[in-house]
C-alpha cells in the first residue's frame, strides 16, 4: 500500500458522491474547452480563409456586429495607389440566413479581383460575367444548403442560380456563398458600398513592412482600419465580445466547480473527523493529513479535467455536425487548450482542497480516545 492508495481509498469510500462531483467538474471543464475552443477556432478559421485568398492585409471596419460596417467603394482606389500595394480586391461580406438555413457567409467579390483566383472549381463553372444572376458555392455551403448545379437560390428578394461548386482551401471559404460584387450590391441596395478590402502586398515584405503599410493606410483612410490578415478578426469588437463571453462563462463554470469540490471535500473531512483523529493519534503528522486531503482534492480535479476535456471535445464535434452550425465552426481543440483545461481542473481541485485540508489539520488526536 502506498500513500496514493490511501488517497484513492478516500475518494472511493463514497463512490456516488465522488462520481457526482466528477460530473460537476467535468461539465465545467467541458464548457471551458467548448467555449474557448469555438471562439479561438472562429478566429483561426477566418485567418486561414484570408491566407487561402492570398490576402496579406485586410482593410475593414469591424464594429460591434459580426459582419463589418460598409464604407464607400472609393476607399479602395485611394489605397490601391499606395506604393508596395500589389493588388486589391473590394468585397462585401455579409452573415445572413439563406432560405431555411441559418447564418451563411455571403461573400461578394469585385469581378475579376484576385480573391476569385484561389477558388478551385470542383464542378460546374464560374459566372460568365459580373451581371449574370449566378453564385458559386463552397463545398460545405453546398452541402448545408443541399444545392446542386443548376438549382435556384434565393438571396434577399432575388432568385439566382448555382453555377459552380468550389474548393476555397479554407473552412470559411468553403462555407461561403460567393458571387460578384456588383450583382450583390444591386440586390441588396448597397450600390457603391463595400465593407472589406483584401490587399496583397508586393512580394518579400516582412511582418514589419506590412505593419508599416497598415499604419500608412490607417492615416490615409480613417473610415476603416487596416490589419494584417488574421489579426483583424481577433481585434473585432464582436470577436472580443464572444471571446470575453466564453472566458466569462468558463470562469463561472470553474467557480461552480471549485464550490462543488470544496463542498465534497468538507463533507468528507467532517464525516472522517474520527478517522483523521485516529491517524493523528497513531502518529501521523498534521502535514501528512493535509497532504492526504489536498491530494484527494487534486485527484478529483485531475479526473474531472480529463473527463471534461473528453466531454468538451465530443460535444464540440457533435455541435459541428449540426446543420445550423456546420461549415461555420472549426473549433480549436489543440493539445495546448486541452492541457490548459486540465491544469485549470487540477488547480480547481487544489484550491478547493485548501480550506477542507486546513479544517482537517485542526482536529485533535485526543478525539480518537474519547470513544
Partner 1 sequence: MKPHVFAAVGLKKEFDDGRVQALRGVDFSIAQGEFVAITGPSGCGKTTLLQMLGALDFPSSGTLHYRGNSIPDLPEPAAYRAREIGIIFQAFNLLPTFTALENVQIPMFETDMRAAERKERAGLLLKSVGLAERRDHFPAKLSGGERQRVAIARSLANSPSVLLADEPTGNLDSENAHLILDLIIRLQREQNMTLVLVTHDSGIAQRASRVVHMKDGRIVSDLAT
Binding site for partner 1 (CB under 8 A): 1-3, 5-6, 9-10, 12-13, 274-275, 278-286, 288, 364-366, 368-371
Contact (CB, 8 A) for 130 and 186: no
CB of 272 to partner 1, least distance (A): 9
Which among 164, 116, 119, 115 is positioned nearest to 142, based on CA atoms?
Answer: 164
Cβ distance to partner 1 smaller for residue 171 or 289: 289
Contact (CB, 8 A) for 73 and 90: yes
CB of 304 to partner 1, least distance (A): 21
Cβ distance to partner 1 smaller for residue 9 or 131: 9
Cβ distance to partner 1 smaller for residue 284 or 355: 284
Cβ distance to partner 1 smaller for residue 284 or 358: 284
Contact (CB, 8 A) for 82 and 218: no
CB of 9 to partner 1, least distance (A): 5
How far CA 284 is from CA of 12, 31, 155, 290, in Å, comes to 21, 40, 75, 10
Cβ distance to partner 1 smaller for residue 131 or 285: 285
Cβ distance to partner 1 smaller for residue 81 or 274: 274
Question: What's the distance, CA 140 to chain centroid?
Answer: 19
CB of 365 to partner 1, least distance (A): 4
Cβ distance to partner 1 smaller for residue 189 or 283: 283
Cβ distance to partner 1 smaller for residue 14 or 359: 14
How far CA 168 is from CA of 105, 215, 258, 277, in Å, comes to 13, 29, 45, 68
Q: Is residue 191 packed enough to be buried (19+ CB in 10 Å), middle (13-18) or exposed (0-12)?
A: exposed
CB of 250 to partner 1, least distance (A): 35
CA distance 148 to 13: 60
CB of 26 to partner 1, least distance (A): 24
Cβ distance to partner 1 smaller for residue 247 or 284: 284
Name every residue whose Cβ is closer than 8 Å to that of residue 141 and which is 6 or more positions away in sequence.
104, 105, 174, 175, 176, 177, 327
CB of 5 to partner 1, least distance (A): 8
Which among 52, 174, 200 is positioned nearest to 113, based on CA atoms?
Answer: 200
CB of 350 to partner 1, least distance (A): 21
CB of 356 to partner 1, least distance (A): 18
CA distance 259 to 265: 10
Length of the chain: 371
CA distance 250 to 337: 13
Instruction: Kindly state the cell numbers that stand for 249.
Output: 462563462
How far CA 119 is from CA of 166, 167, 171, 265, in Å, comes to 6, 6, 12, 57
Amino acid at each position: 500500500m502506498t500513500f496514493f492508495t490511501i488517497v484513492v481509498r478516500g475518494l472511493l469510500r463514497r463512490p456516488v458522491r465522488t462520481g457526482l462531483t466528477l460530473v460537476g467538474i467535468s461539465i465545467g471543464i467541458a464548457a471551458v474547452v467548448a467555449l474557448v475552443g469555438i471562439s479561438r477556432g472562429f478566429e483561426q478559421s477566418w485567418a486561414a480563409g484570408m491566407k487561402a485568398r492570398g490576402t496579406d492585409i485586410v482593410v475593414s471596419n469591424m464594429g460591434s456586429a459580426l459582419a463589418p460596417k460598409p464604407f464607400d467603394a472609393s476607399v479602395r482606389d485611394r489605397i490601391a495607389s499606395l506604393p508596395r500595394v500589389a493588388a486589391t480586391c473590394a468585397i462585401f461580406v455579409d452573415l445572413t440566413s439563406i432560405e431555411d438555413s441559418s447564418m451563411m457567409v455571403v461573400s461578394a467579390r469585385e469581378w475579376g479581383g484576385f480573391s476569385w483566383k484561389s477558388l478551385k472549381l470542383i464542378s460546374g463553372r464560374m459566372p460568365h460575367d459580373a451581371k449574370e444572376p449566378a453564385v458559386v458555392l463552397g463545398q460545405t455551403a453546398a452541402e448545408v444548403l443541399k444545392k446542386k448545379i443548376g438549382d435556384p437560390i434565393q438571396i434577399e428578394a432575388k432568385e439566382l442560380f448555382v453555377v459552380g461548386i468550389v474548393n476555397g482551401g479554407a473552412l470559411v471559404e468553403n462555407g461561403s456563398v460567393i458571387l460578384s460584387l456588383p450583382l450583390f450590391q444591386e440586390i441588396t441596395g448597397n450600390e457603391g458600398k463595400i465593407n472589406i478590402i483584401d490587399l496583397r502586398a508586393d512580394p518579400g515584405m516582412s511582418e514589419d513592412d506590412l505593419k508599416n503599410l497598415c499604419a500608412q493606410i490607417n492615416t490615409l483612410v480613417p473610415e476603416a482600419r487596416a490589419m494584417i490578415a488574421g489579426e483583424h478578426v481577433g481585434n473585432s469588437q464582436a470577436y472580443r465580445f464572444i471571446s470575453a463571453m466564453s472566458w466569462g462563462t468558463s470562469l463561472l463554470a470553474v467557480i461552480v466547480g471549485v464550490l462543488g469540490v470544496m463542498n465534497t471535500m468538507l463533507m468528507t473531512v467532517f464525516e472522517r473527523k474520527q478517522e483523521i483523529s485516529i491517524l493523528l493519534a497513531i502518529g501521523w503528522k498534521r502535514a501528512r493529513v493535509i497532504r492526504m486531503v489536498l491530494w484527494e482534492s487534486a485527484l478529483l480535479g485531475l479526473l474531472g479535467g480529463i473527463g471534461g476535456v473528453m466531454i468538451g471535445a465530443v460535444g464540440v464535434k457533435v455541435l459541428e455536425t449540426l446543420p445550423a452550425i456546420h461549415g461555420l465552426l472549426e473549433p480549436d481543440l489543440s493539445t495546448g487548450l486541452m492541457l490548459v483545461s486540465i491544469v485549470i481542473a487540477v488547480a480547481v481541485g487544489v484550491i478547493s482542497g485548501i480550506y477542507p485540508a486546513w479544517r482537517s489539520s485542526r482536529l485533535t488526536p485526543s478525539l480518537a480516545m474519547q470513544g
